[in-house]
Amino acid sequence: MDAPDPCCAAELTEYGTIAVSGSDARAFLHTQLTNDIEHLPPQAACHAGWCSAKGRLLATFLVAPHDDGFLLQLARELAPAILKRLQMFVLRSKVKLADASADWAQFGLWGDGADAALGALGIAAPAQDLGIARAADRFAIRLSRRQFLLFARAALHAETQARLPQGDASGWALEEIRAGRPHVVQATQDLFVPQMVNLERLGGVDFRKGCYPGQEVVARTQYRGQLKRRMVRLRAPQPLRAGQDLYSDDASGQPTATVVNAAGGEALAVVALATLEGGAAVRAQAGGEALEVLPLPYAA
């Protein structure tokens, strides 16, 4: 029997938050994002993407209902530009958008004692994946059995941090890679349709909902067999970075893959299906050491 994996926690300063409020907030997000926000329960979060008209992801979100609206977690470096662009679509809707990154501290908790660490803050761990539990000015989202995302109001930042076991944010990033959860950053904006990064396998795309930016491209990719690349998990002997080109032995020096996220000697990368199906080696540079393809926790 494996030894228990002790709980770690880390502040996630690379993530930001956009607050969406107002009586039309739900309807507005439903018409913009890849997922069904109209029927999202108040005690559940969801994954979603926001696409360009060409169906390429401009951002990936974790969407959490909060108060009279929603909080959108995204890469912090993207928050100002995404906020500005989203505001262009508000028109006459009764919606208010704001960069709330400074209003909320975010922490990742992982390991076998993560639920107990939440309990010490007065939060009962949600029973279901993507369930939300709240206590005063904090709330937690269960991402998996051993992984939680914790939001705390800025006023509780120091107190919350002091009461959590200490870990490193790179450990959280590695957990996200092993869970197969992609995060679009500046270097990967407008590169991938949602299915390339397995967003639909995470429940982040609803193919039955109405229109949203890029919906026709996303649907055509799904139903007409036009997907040519898929995200896989790799182990690399050297550090990789988001947006980095990778090479395969079946393409004679031409890049055939792109790193999505990387941490701790592992990475998520979008690779040509022909390369994967043919078993050709993927390398950080032509002629370099082959990268090992590792399993993801969801079905292929």
Same domain for 235 and 170, yes or no, is no
Segment 83-105, tens digit of pLDDT: 999 999 999 999 999 999 999 99
Residue type, 121: L
Mean pLDDT, the chain, rounded, equals: 95
Query: How many domains does the structure of the chain reveal?
Result: 2
User: 126 in helix, strand or coil?
Assistant: coil
Residue 206 domain-assigned?
A: no
Give mean pLDDT, residues 230-255: 94
Confidence of residue 68 (pLDDT cuts 50, 70, 90): confident
Alpha helical stretches, state H, 10-146: 25-32, 79-87, 114-119
Do 139 and 263 lie in a common domain?
no
Is pLDDT of 204 > 90? yes
Predicted confidence band of residue 4 (pLDDT cuts 50, 70, 90): low
- Residues 42, 114: one domain? yes
Q: Answer yes or no: is 83 within a domain.
A: yes
Which residues neighbour 91 within 8 Å (Cβ) at sequence distance 6 or greater?
none
Residues 173 and 235 in one domain: no
State the pLDDT confidence band at 66, using cuts at 50, 70 and 90.
Answer: very high
pLDDT of residue 1: 47
Tell me, yes or no, whether 167 and 25 share the same domain: yes
DSSP β-bridge partners for residue 15: 75
- For residue 240, the model assigns a pLDDT of 98
Per-residue pLDDT, averaged over 192-206, amounts to 98
292 and 175 belong to one structural domain: no
Residue 270's pLDDT band, with cuts at 50, 70 and 90, is very high
* pLDDT at residue 226, as a whole number: 81
Instruction: Tell me which residue range forms the domain holding 38.
Output: 8-179
Residues 19 and 145 in one domain: yes
Q: Which positions ≥6 away from 126 have C-beta within 8 Å?
A: 43, 132, 133, 140, 141, 142
Q: Which of 114, 144, 179 is the last residue of a domain?
A: 179
Tell whether 170 and 268 lie within a shared domain.
no
**Predicted pLDDT at 6:** 85
Lowest mean pLDDT among 47-51, 222-226, 278-282: 222-226
Residue 270 lies in a domain: yes
Give the global pTM.
0.95
Confidence of residue 136 (pLDDT cuts 50, 70, 90): confident
The enclosing domain of 116 has a CATH number of 3.30.1360.120
Neighbour count for residue 71 (Cβ, 10 Å): 22
In this structure, is residue 219 part of a structural domain? no
Check whether residue 121 and residue 255 sit in a common domain.
no
Domain of residue 250, CATH code: 2.40.30
- Region 226-240: mean pLDDT is 95
Whole-angstrom distance, CA of residue 146 vs CA of residue 5: 9
Q: Is 204 within a domain?
A: no
In a domain, 190, yes or no: no
In a domain, 217, yes or no: no
| Per-residue pLDDT, 282 | 96
Average pLDDT for 265-288: 95
User: Is there a domain that residue 292 lies in?
Assistant: yes
251 and 163, same structural domain?
A: no
pLDDT, mean of residues 217-224: 93
